[in-house]
Chain A
Amino acid sequence: MSTHPATASTRPASEDSREISMTGIGSESEREIPDIPPNPVMEALKLNVFYGDFHAVHDVNLSFGKNEITALIGPSGCGKSTVLRCLNRMNDLVSGARVEGEVTYHGQNIYARNVDPIAVRTQVGMVFQKPNPFPKSIYDNIAYGPRVTGMKVENMDDLVEEALRAAALWEEVKDKLKQSAYGLSGGQQQRLCIARTIATKPDVILMDEPCSALDPIATSRIEDLMVGLRDDYTIIIVTHNMQQAARVSDRTAFFTARPDETTGNRTGLLVEFDRTSNIFANPNDKRTEDYISGRFG
């Protein structure tokens, strides 16, 4: 399905070789990564998120280039998942959540008054931390999205096959499509969730720590899959795993949390956003460097 960039990379990390500078930083040995994200599909402009009185995310500016993989990294509580959930308005579901600033999708502010969050979610799909297949058959898991969104589907069987092939799961499940999705292994379930998202033909796929519940072998299959999907989708991934960010992403945004002096609440903010190679090999900010080199986090 794809050549794994990790094995192909020969780029030396940087002069002062850090512990983290493993092989395969970025996937740019095969790709030219321009200085700024090309044709940004989505952008966050002065994004602030509040939960009640709690200021969760402060002034984040980001742009996500078409057919790129962007990784959001940082210590826990730094607001990276919150930012991700703003991109398809999943934060709407949290009672008391409030978003300020703009998130644009092809230039339209998705938080504008006349925008339908459901329409946003059909364009911007999401894969969650824990595999969450529906308690239905494998087939119905895939067909669910197209059915509920009223997609015009000529042949559902073909669509299901296509989605499962795209998620590299077809060969494993083609003989048991009518069986419950709960019979699959954790890694298979997560690929099913990716297939389910692909079936609704989104433009952007958000992944919230998609491998944190999986073993290393299943993780590497998902990583392969992400790199393969990059040609057709814009992918934004939150990860705890720096090596993972380094292996799969083109660009990386590093977040950190700043405790409020009076309340002690930790507000997340963006420290640095750059090509993954620069973030890992040559960060501009001391805080990024400390985190990458394991001195903090």
Chain B
Amino acid sequence: MSVAATTARDMTRVVSTGRSKDRGVGSLVFLGALWFSLFFGVMVLLVLIIDVAIAGSPRFDSALLTEYGSIVSPETTGFRAGILGSLWLMLFTALLAVPLGIAAALYLEEFADGERWWNRMIEVNLQNLAAVPAIVYGLLAVAVISLMGFNRTGIVLGGAVALALLILPVIIITTREAVRAVPQDIRQGSLALGATVWQTTWRQTLPSAIPGIATGTILGLSRAIGEAAPLIVVGLAGSVRFDPTGLFSEITALPMQIYSLTSQSREELQTAASAAIIVLLIMILGLNALAIFIRNKFQKTW
């Protein structure tokens, strides 16, 4: 055996005796418990996906995506209205929440003097809003659309307002993080040349922060697309049998359809609900993958 190998083995022994305190029964049990904690959630997730996928597998067919919901012919019931509805809701939610969220974040990061009491109030308020239950945003959305003169009838606008309110704090918080990651040097360089605060924000800070903002926005939207609670409150039905046509057309959404199917006892409908869950999970996974892709591809490291 070579000298080097012997030394290496000795070193290992030294290190392992040094760590022997961490090898007592108590320590090992503790470490095992930590491992268990870490992987418990992942195991649950795996069981969930496998269970739902097996239950839904008879319905992985094209009718699932192209047909409207039907209780009359449950073996070919589909989620066309829900999938389209969810996509429409996502679009209008983004149109409402993204510009407002970015604007609010830019004000708080680039313009507001954090020493002022009203700006501090906005801060605390935002942290609070981020933890308001989703269903409460549904109640607010009902009030907002009735102010606009609409009844609580499950239209695109109502759903989009509810979801936009829900993800607005998320977008504001992630945008602020992205903006804050742009080095102060860049802003100072721009201001020292005689640029105004807005010119600096628009031409320097914002372009550099866009990948981070896009990532945060997409993650916010992926949360919105899976949400059902506020949609129930604004009156979305599970049983819409036509495509959305405009802001005021009645719609349903994929999670709403899943929710309403769970109260049906027919086995075919349970199977369809399982298959629809897989569709919903794939949509959400797709959005998350897109967000991660954008982050890895475009994120600047300063």
Residues of A within 8 A of B (CB): 88, 90, 93, 95-96, 118-119, 121-122, 125-126, 128, 130, 132-135, 144-145, 148-149, 193, 196-197, 200
Within 8 Å by CB of B188, from A90, A122, A197, lies A90
Q: Which residues of A contact B191 (CB under 8 A)?
A: 90, 93, 121
**Cβ of A183 to closest chain B Cβ, rounded Å:** 15
Task: Report yes or no: A93 in contact with B194, Cβ–Cβ below 8 A.
Answer: no
Q: Which of B188, B192, B208 has the most C-beta atoms of chain A within 10 angstroms of its own C-beta?
A: B192
Known: A90-B191, A95-B113, A144-B190. A135 touches B196 (CB 8 A): no
Task: Report yes or no: A148 in contact with B195, Cβ–Cβ below 8 A.
Answer: yes
Task: Report yes or no: B189 in contact with A193, Cβ–Cβ below 8 A.
Answer: yes
The answer to whether the Cβ of B267 comes within 8 Å of any Cβ in the partner chain is no
Within 8 Å by CB of A148, from B114, B186, B203, lies B203
Task: Report yes or no: B190 in contact with A148, Cβ–Cβ below 8 A.
Answer: yes
Q: Which residues of B contact A132 (CB under 8 A)?
A: 183, 185-186, 188-189
Task: Report yes or no: A88 in contact with B186, Cβ–Cβ below 8 A.
Answer: no
Known: A145-B194, A196-B193. A135 touches B203 (CB 8 A): no
Q: Which residues of A contact B114 (CB under 8 A)?
A: 95
Q: Which residues of B contact A88 (CB under 8 A)?
A: 192
The answer to whether the Cβ of B13 comes within 8 Å of any Cβ in the partner chain is no
The answer to whether the Cβ of B266 comes within 8 Å of any Cβ in the partner chain is no
Task: Report yes or no: B193 in contact with A197, Cβ–Cβ below 8 A.
Answer: yes
**A-B pairs with beta carbons under 8 Å apart, 17 shown:** A90-B192, A93-B191, A95-B113, A96-B115, A121-B191, A128-B185, A128-B188, A128-B192, A132-B183, A132-B185, A132-B189, A134-B186, A134-B190, A144-B195, A145-B193, A148-B203, A193-B189
Q: A135-B208, A148-B193 are in contact. List 5 more A-B contacts (CB 8 A).
A: A125-B193, A126-B188, A128-B189, A135-B300, A149-B193
Task: Report yes or no: A93 in contact with B188, Cβ–Cβ below 8 A.
Answer: yes
- B185: nearest chain-A partner, CB-CB: A132
The answer to whether the Cβ of B204 comes within 8 Å of any Cβ in the partner chain is yes
Q: Which residues of B contact A133 (CB under 8 A)?
A: 189
The answer to whether the Cβ of B199 comes within 8 Å of any Cβ in the partner chain is yes
Task: Report yes or no: A121 in contact with B300, Cβ–Cβ below 8 A.
Answer: no
- A150: nearest chain-B partner, CB-CB: B194
**Cβ of B205 to closest chain A Cβ, rounded Å:** 11
**Interface hits, B169-228 → A, CB 8 Å:** 183, 185-186, 188-196, 199, 203-204, 207-208
Please measure, in the bound complex, the distance between the C-alpha atom of A118 and the C-alpha atom of B199, giving whole angstroms.
12
Please measure, in the bound complex, the distance between the C-alpha atom of A88 and the C-alpha atom of B185, giving whole angstroms.
16
Task: Report yes or no: A148 in contact with B194, Cβ–Cβ below 8 A.
Answer: yes
**Cβ of A277 to closest chain B Cβ, rounded Å:** 31
Task: Report yes or no: B195 in contact with A149, Cβ–Cβ below 8 A.
Answer: yes
Task: Report yes or no: B113 in contact with A148, Cβ–Cβ below 8 A.
Answer: no
Q: Which residues of B contact A126 (CB under 8 A)?
A: 188, 192
Task: Report yes or no: B204 in contact with A134, Cβ–Cβ below 8 A.
Answer: yes
Known: A128-B185, A135-B186, A144-B203. A118 touches B192 (CB 8 A): no
Please measure, in the bound complex, the distance between the C-alpha atom of A154 and the C-alpha atom of B146, giving whole angstroms.
57
- B183: nearest chain-A partner, CB-CB: A132
Task: Report yes or no: A148 in contact with B300, Cβ–Cβ below 8 A.
Answer: no
Within 8 Å by CB of A134, from B113, B189, B194, lies B189
**Cβ of B106 to closest chain A Cβ, rounded Å:** 16
Q: Which residues of B contact A128 (CB under 8 A)?
A: 185, 188-189, 192
Task: Report yes or no: B192 in contact with A125, Cβ–Cβ below 8 A.
Answer: yes
Q: Which residues of A contact B208 (CB under 8 A)?
A: 135
**Cβ of B171 to closest chain A Cβ, rounded Å:** 24
Please measure, in the bound complex, the distance between the C-alpha atom of A266 and the C-alpha atom of B271, giving whole angstroms.
73
Within 8 Å by CB of A122, from B185, B186, B194, B207, lies B194
**Cβ of B123 to closest chain A Cβ, rounded Å:** 14
Q: Which residues of A contact B300 (CB under 8 A)?
A: 135
Please measure, in the bound complex, the distance between the C-alpha atom of A145 and the C-alpha atom of B185, giving whole angstroms.
15
Please measure, in the bound complex, the distance between the C-alpha atom of A88 and the C-alpha atom of B186, giving whole angstroms.
17
- B193: nearest chain-A partner, CB-CB: A145
Please measure, in the bound complex, the distance between the C-alpha atom of A126 and the C-alpha atom of B189, giving whole angstroms.
8
